[in-house]
């Protein structure tokens, strides 16, 4: 009963359009003042200690690192490299778009920024080369979402915060599905380009490829710093994030020279703004999950599922449907923070591996970014292509459909996510 | 004036905390590895340093950054909500919901600020201020300190009442501005620097060039136009000039592209 009231109130408050963090907080306060005996002091303490974990501090550092490299110059280098590698195949520039999005999204950590950066450089080039506008928009809008699966990923840090799962293992587990999804999107691009006979680029020589690689490698080394540092145990994930922020600073200011020293305070301020928003949601989501646990709601849900003989397959299907629906209205980090603490205990009770469950949620978030009515990527893409949302929805469907199929594969094939971290001995 | 100073202070504080925390963690990690390298002189000096407090300081700095950054975020409109539903309403109703949302934000942050202030007061601020003014005497609780830095926790935690009050103030400010002007701050999540923007150099005023090679603003005559739009139109009507027609049509196209 209480659970229904809590969720009802949360849903109503959210739909009034107030910030998600505020609606979470107000729900908790209402609940505390009217329905429970939990002393207010313990909540006040939670308010302070909710984000006092060193693991959470990886988020501001990753955002800072990403912001240093979220720059048109970096995007251009990635596009050049990608075009020189795959440009001569069918749908050359489209394939290059998928690859460039994957690389840039991994480094910048933001899907919408990836769509804008890669899209506004590559789309005009594609139109000029003779691709229809629709094709380019579909490729970029969907590939931009790759960033939250390929490490370092902020959504994964959120999941690990909400469920106490190892960040390192999650990052490693994201590598193979990330590559597989990029390959799937690339495959769709290639197939459609071949079918409609879209133009191909002249084949680049190995000399050109080497040159393009050398220009883009400095940005890509960020991934190596993070993954290598965590895997070898040189850094904890948060330290790796701080190191990647320093590395990104050196890279942007001294190697690429895209930014001057005078731009640095602006980047710091923007990153602080973004991180503060996410940390604020985390604080309130921690409060929210505290009262959920206090009311035994996840436990009750797990008992109900087990009592009704609902197995893993039904549960995972339900999880996918719920998350896809939620993806219609909210952005990824809020969804993960609200739903992970509720669904996680059930998943564990059903014998689903925590890391696998995390990857499943992240892939779900990716799909949610690309479908109407609220896919953020669609909105951003509509801004740069000047196409309407309806038109874009039609444009992205081949890729969106393949993403949904891929989501099914990830959901029911744990090996895809778990193989690599197991091989590396991280699980 | 005071508001402007507050804005600057807020931005400065948040920027500083972000940068400083990064540098501290970097130095601490670098120290950990450099101290293991056998460099005569340097190693001895490094071994005398202790960076055990870095992690704690980083957390404290980021908590402060989160609280004040959240207040700054209200001003920049970064706190996202679910706006699908209210965006479909007509402007009047939408406005009411937005005001409701902003006031709800102010209420929540106001309550949190009060709770936080109470907590901080009970955890040492009371003792500190009473001692400071020499009114002590009752057995007041001195309050705990943080484990590594041994700072009194009430100073660390005062980020909550201070930050939340500021945030409450920002919500009210944004709400007032919205009622007055109907405008909300909006954060552009897809903003990327360094992309080529099609802005003309500042000192070229294409609208002011009356040479038929550049676009004209047909609706609004700009200051500095040598002829008013009315005159130009009368001209074109009286003396049909195919070239100018074409020019004007191109003008319209240009305008369309820019939108």
Choose, out of B143, B193, B196, the residue to mutate when testing the contact with A (most A CBs < 10 Å).
Answer: B193
**How many Å apart are CA A151 and CA A227, to the nearest integer?**
8
pLDDT, tens digit, for every residue of A156-185?
A: 999 998 898 999 999 999 999 999 999 999
A residues 272-311 closer than 8 Å to B (CB): 272-277, 279-280, 283
CB contact under 8 A, A269 and B83: no
Q: What is the mean pLDDT of residues A389-408?
A: 90
Task: Please answer whether residues B183 and B94 qualify as being in contact, where contact means their C-beta atoms are separated by less than 8 angstroms.
Answer: no
The model's pLDDT over A103-116, given as tens digits with 9 standing for 90+, comes to 998 888 888 888 88
- A3: CB partners within 8 A, 6+ apart: A295, A297, A300
Nearest to B72 among A113, A115, A273 (CB): A273
- Name the residue among A173, A125, A110, A133 with its Cα closest to residue A354: A173
What is the Cα–Cα distance from B149 to B52, expressed in whole angstroms?
9
pLDDT of residue B227: 44
A71 touches chain B (CB under 8 A): yes
Q: Rounded CA gap, B74 and B109, in Å?
A: 11
Is B17 within 8 Å of chain A by CB?
yes
- Share of residues in chain A with pLDDT > 90 (%): 30
SS3 A19: strand
Here the ipTM equals 0.86
Q: What is the mean pLDDT of residues A334-341?
A: 90
How far does Cα A65 stand from its chain's mean position? 15
- Which of A113, A239, A277 minimises the CB distance to B25? A239
Asked whether residue B41 carries a pLDDT value surpassing 70, the answer given is yes
Minimal CA separation from B243 to chain A, in Å = 28
The verdict on a CB contact (< 8 Å) between B192 and A72 is: yes
Q: CB-based contacts of A298: which residues, under 8 Å, 6+ apart?
A: A292, A341, A342, A343, A344, A345, A346
- What is each CA distance from B229 to A171, A422, B219, B225, B232, in whole angstroms? 62, 73, 8, 9, 5
Assess whether pLDDT exceeds 90 at residue B69.
yes
* A98: β partners: none
Which of residues 257 through 276 in chain A touch B, CB cutoff 8 A?
258, 263-265, 268-269, 271-276
Is residue A311 over pLDDT 90? no
CB pairs < 8 Å spanning A and B: 205
A289 pLDDT more than 70 = yes
């Amino acid at each position: 009963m209480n659970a229904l009231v809590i969720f009802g109130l949360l849903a109503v408050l959210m739909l009034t359009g107030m910030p998600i963090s505020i609606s979470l907080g107000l729900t908790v306060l209402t609940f505390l003042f009217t329905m429970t005996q939990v002393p207010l002091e313990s909540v006040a303490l939670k308010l302070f200690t909710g984000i006092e974990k060193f693991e959470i501090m990886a988020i501001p550092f990753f955002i800072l690192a990403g912001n240093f490299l979220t720059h048109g110059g970096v995007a251009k280098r990635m596009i050049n490299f990608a075009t020189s590698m795959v440009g001569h195949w069918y749908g050359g520039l489209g394939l290059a778009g998928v690859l460039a999005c994957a690389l840039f999204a991994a480094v910048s950590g933001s899907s919408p920024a990836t769509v804008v950066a890669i899209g506004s450089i590559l789309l005009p080039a594609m139109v000029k080369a003779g691709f229809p506008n629709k094709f380019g928009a579909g490729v970029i809008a969907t590939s931009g979402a790759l960033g939250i699966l390929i490490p370092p990923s902020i959504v994964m840090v959120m999941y690990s915060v909400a469920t106490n799962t190892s960040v390192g293992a999650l990052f490693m587990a994201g590598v193979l599905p990330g590559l597989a999804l990029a390959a799937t999107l690339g495959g769709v691009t290639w197939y459609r380009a071949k079918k409609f006979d879209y133009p191909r680029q002249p084949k680049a020589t190995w000399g050109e490829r080497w040159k393009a690689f050398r220009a883009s490698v400095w940005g890509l080394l960020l991934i190596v710093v993070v993954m290598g540092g965590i895997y070898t145990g040189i850094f904890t994930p948060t330290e790796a994030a701080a190191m990647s922020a320093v590395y990104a600073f050196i890279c942007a200011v001294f190697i690429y020279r895209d930014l001057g020293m005078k731009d640095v305070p602006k980047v710091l301020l923007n990153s602080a703004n973004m991180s503060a928003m996410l940390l604020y949601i985390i604080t309130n989501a921690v409060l929210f999950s505290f009262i959920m646990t206090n009311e035994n709601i996840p436990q009750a849900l797990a008992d109900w599922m087990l009592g009704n003989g609902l197995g893993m397959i039904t549960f995972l299907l339900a999880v996918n449907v719920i998350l896809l629906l939620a993806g219609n209205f909210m952005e990824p980090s809020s969804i993960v923070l609200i739903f992970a603490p509720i669904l996680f205990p059930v998943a564990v009770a059903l014998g689903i591996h925590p890391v696998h469950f995390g990857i499943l949620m992240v892939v779900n978030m990716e799909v949610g970014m690309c479908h109407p009515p609220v896919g953020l990527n669609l909105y951003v893409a509509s801004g740069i292509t000047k196409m309407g949302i309806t038109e874009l929805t039609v444009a992205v469907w081949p890729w969106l459909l393949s993403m949904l199929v891929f989501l099914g594969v990830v959901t029911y094939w744990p090996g895809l996510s778990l193989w690599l971290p197991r091989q590396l001995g991280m699980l | 004036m005071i508001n402007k100073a507050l804005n600057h202070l807020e931005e400065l504080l948040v920027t500083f905390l972000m940068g400083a925390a990064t540098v501290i963690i970097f130095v601490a990690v670098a120290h950990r590895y450099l101290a293991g390298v056998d460099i005569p002189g340097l190693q001895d000096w490094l071994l005398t340093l202790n960076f055990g407090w870095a992690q704690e300081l980083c957390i404290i700095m980021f908590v402060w950054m989160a609280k004040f950054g959240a207040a700054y975020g209200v001003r920049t409109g970064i706190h996202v909500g679910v706006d699908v539903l209210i965006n479909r309403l007509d402007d009047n109703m939408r406005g009411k919901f937005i005001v409701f949302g902003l006031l709800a934000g102010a209420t929540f942050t106001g309550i949190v600020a009060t709770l936080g202030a109470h907590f901080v007061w009970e955890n040492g601020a009371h003792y500190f201020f009473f001692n400071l003014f020499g009114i002590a005497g009752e057995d007041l609780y001195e309050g705990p300190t943080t484990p590594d830095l041994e700072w009194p926790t009430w100073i660390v935690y005062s980020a909550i009442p201070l930050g939340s009050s500021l945030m409450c103030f920002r919500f009210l400010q944004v709400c007032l501005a919205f009622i007055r002007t109907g405008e909300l701050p909006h954060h552009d999540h897809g903003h990327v620097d360094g992309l080529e923007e099609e802005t003309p150099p500042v000192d070229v005023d294409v609208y002011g060039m009356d040479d038929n090679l550049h676009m004209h603003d047909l609706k609004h005559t700009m200051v500095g136009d040598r002829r008013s739009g009315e005159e130009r139109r009368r001209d074109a009507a009286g003396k049909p000039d195919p070239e100018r027609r074409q020019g004007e049509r191109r003008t319209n196209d240009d305008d369309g592209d820019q939108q």
